Each structure stands twice: as structure tokens, then as C-alpha cells.
Structure 1
Amino acid sequence: MIRVLLADDEAMIRAGVRAILASAADIEVVAEAADGHEAVETAQRHRPDVCLLDIRMPRLDGLRAAAELRRTCPDSAVMMLTTFSEDEYIATALGSGAAGFVLKSGDPMELLAGVRAVADGGAYLSPTVARHVLTHMAGGQLGRRAGAQARIAPLTPREREVLGLVGAGLSNADIAARLHVVEGTVKTYVSQILARLQVRNRVQAAILAYEAGLVPGTGPQQP
């Protein structure tokens, strides 16, 4: 069972999101919060698998709450839920340690898919957000590719392979099945990759994999 903390300052929005999550047999909302400060305190008590945060909340907004949660509850994945899809919100959310970003205006199935993905150690961007990210990355891509390939150069071939699969959005379980190894081995690889690349989370690693051309369809891979 995936245990979720839901934080949004609008009661009707919380009710709607809770109803969507309740429709899934493998997801349970274990706690709710009406602002970012309460979300952090509640997460520390309940230790949920996923913290689903609205961006704009009183006292402490979702972006700052995400950063605090990554510090105090590192085992709880953070996913942002918002009506805003501007690039600055996306960039700040990912920089704050969020592993997923879903729009309130999106398909309810995106919400369920996102919660499952980040709970499994993966990353999830709704299609609309993904388009924003890829469009933003398109400008000056050649310069970034050279820099990204220089950053991944110290990785072993196996680590680059794992990084490419992370960039393709695969969860640890999916990567383990693809590489015919146990999931624990994948977790070790991912931890080593994050440390060696000096990135905070899988989303940042996935973007780096994309820029370096490790994701299928994005260009030649680093030899």
C-alpha cells in the first residue's frame, strides 16, 4: 500500500484529489495538511511514502516545503500538484527535490501514475510539464550536451546504462527487470550515480541523461 500525505489549502481540492486517490486499491491517504508548515510537521509524524504538495499554500509554500521535506524526511518522495506550468515553477520544484510534477488540470490517471512512479523510486512529469521541460532544454542544446557528456565521463559503462534508463523514466523495478539484476543492485547504482554526478534526485539525473544523449532518440551516447 502506498501511503500518501496530501497538502493543499483548498478543502474542495483536497476532497477531489483524495477521491481520485481512493479509487486506487494500492493507494491510501494517511494524512492531510492545509499549508506547507503543517505538511512538514505531519510528514514527520506519519512518514508517508509520497508527499503530494500544492505549490501555492500559506505560511510555507509547496516549493519551500518540498526542500524541507527532502531534508527532514528523505525517505518520503515529493510530488508537486498545481495549476501552474510556467518554467520557473517547474525548475524551482525540481531544484527543491521534487520527484514528480502533475497539473490539477490533467487527467486523473496522470495523478495515479505519478504517485506510483515516485513511490517506486522513479520520477514523473505530466505530459504538459514534460513538453515545457523539453522545449526549455532545446535552446542551446549543443553546448549543454558537451557539458553533460563531460559530467558523465567518469561513470562506468554500466552506470551510464542505468542513467539512461533513469532518463527514460523507468523505475528501479523496471530497470532491474531490463538488466536482469535484483532491485537492490539498481538502488545501489542509482545512489552512486547521484553522488558522482552531484545531483539531488532522479529528475535532475534524468535531465542530465537527456542532455548527454543517453536517452533513446536524443542523440549519440557517450562512448
Structure 2
Amino acid sequence: MRLVVCDDHRLLLEALAVSLRARGHDVVDLCTTPEAGLEAVTRHQPDVCLLDLHFPEGTSLQALRAMVARCPDTRVVVFSAAADPQAVSGALALGAAGYLLKSMSMEEICEMLDHAARGQVAVEPGLLRQAFLPPSAQDPLWVLRFLTDREWDALRCITRGMSTDQIARQLGVRRSTARTHVQNLLHKLGVHSRLEAAALMADHAAEEDWPARLRS
């Protein structure tokens, strides 16, 4: 994975680069300002940019917006010390591919960066729920509003007990693509298996919760 890392703390920046490179990643640039990060992303077109949220001059949200607009193939992942649900929802609304906490281990950070590179939402599920679900709400299906059409299709296949090969044939895609849709779906639902996803829908979903085109 080709990476640009942007953080105003030079020691943290260099430590991240060493750890990422030791795990086989290609860190193509290190930047200490959002402006330099934007220039580096535009020049290198990396797979992922890990972008600190807070800088001495303010947040990096303007740079985030510009990165997403200029380099749509680069997944921008926000990096922050604060587990702030509003910051998560704001960053995702601007096009961020994820929101990671500086308290995470390097293994967790690398796993989340892999999620982002594969097109998945790289946010810890509990924090993602806090970002989009009011604290008083008790709807276990709240995340359905964020599913893509393909993820809905994969979910219907899962509830019918289809294998990955069967899902690929049903959707008319490659097996690897079908597997990616399933992985994205499970991550958004906050479950660990297809069985859990099917059980969630069986226990809580009514017919009207499905898109009209998928209703029995």
C-alpha cells in the first residue's frame, strides 16, 4: 500500500513511518502541514492518506475536502486523539474513508488502513454507531440507511443462505468483488459473520425495511 502520512508532531510522524514500512507499506511522503499533505497527495496519488485532524492553525478539514475532490482514488483517513462522534460524522460527510484514534495499536491502525484501501469504512464500529445514532435511539437496524445497492443485494443473498460463489453469480460479479461487498456489509452492520447478519435481519427487520425491489 502506498501511503502519505500527515501530522504536525514530527516524532509521531517518523515513528508511524518506521512502523508502517516495517509492515511492508510504502510511505511515499511525510508532511507536517495540511497544505503540504494536499500537495503530496496530488503529486503521489497514494492509495491512502493518513491525515491528522488537528493542527496548530486549526483542523485539516479543508485539506480533506480538497484531497477528496482532486484525488478521488486516494482514500483519506482522519487520525485523531479524540473519540469525538461529531468529528467522525463530519469527516465522513466530507468524504473521509475512515477515522482512526491515536490510542490504537499499530496492528489496529494497519488493519483499518487495509479496510480503507479496500473501499470499506475504516471506523471502529462502536464509534461509528455513536456518530450516527442518537444516544436515546434503540433501533438495531439504524445502519441500514448507509448500505449501498450492492450491499443490499448481498444482504438479501445472505438471508437466503447463499455462498460467496452463489452471491457472485446472482450479482453478476467476480467472486472477489462479491466477497468485498459482503465484508463491507458485515463491517457496517457491526457483526462478525453472515450468520449474525442474517439473524439480525430475521429478528428485527420487517418487509418494509427492505428496498421495494428486494421485497418478497
Displacement after TM superposition at 1:45 (Å):
0.5
> Any gaps of 5 or more consecutive residues in structure 2?
158-162
For 2:165 and 2:27, the matched residues in 1 are separated by 29
Displacement after TM superposition at 1:8 (Å):
0.3
Q: Secondary structure at the match of 1:122?
A: coil
Higher relative CO (Cα under 8 Å, sequence separation at least 6) belongs to 1
1:132 and 2:127 aligned: yes
Aligned to 2:41: 43
The ranges of structure 1 where at least 4 consecutive aligned residues each deviate by more than 6 angstroms after the TM superposition are: 175-178
For 1:16 and 1:102, the matched residues in 2 are separated by 16
Asked which structure has the greater CA Rg, the reply is 2
Aligned to 1:105: 103
Closer, same or farther in 2 for the Cα pair 1:58/1:132, shift >3 Å? same
For 1:183 and 1:75, the matched residues in 2 are separated by 22
Aligned to 2:160: none
Displacement after TM superposition at 1:139 (Å):
3.0
Using the size of structure 2 for normalisation, the TM-score is 0.70
Sequence identity, in percent? 22
Q: Secondary structure at the match of 2:29?
A: strand
How many residue pairs end up in the alignment? Answer: 186
The one-letter amino acid paired with 1:19 is: V
1:182 and 2:174 aligned: yes
8 Å CA contact 2:85–2:130 kept in 1: the answer is: no
Using the size of structure 1 for normalisation, the TM-score is 0.68
Aligned to 2:73: 75
Displacement after TM superposition at 1:161 (Å):
2.6
Aligned to 1:66: 64
Aligned to 2:2: 3
The one-letter amino acid paired with 1:106 is: M
Displacement after TM superposition at 1:162 (Å):
3.6
Displacement after TM superposition at 1:55 (Å):
0.3
Closer, same or farther in 2 for the Cα pair 1:52/1:135, shift >3 Å? closer
Displacement after TM superposition at 1:74 (Å):
0.4
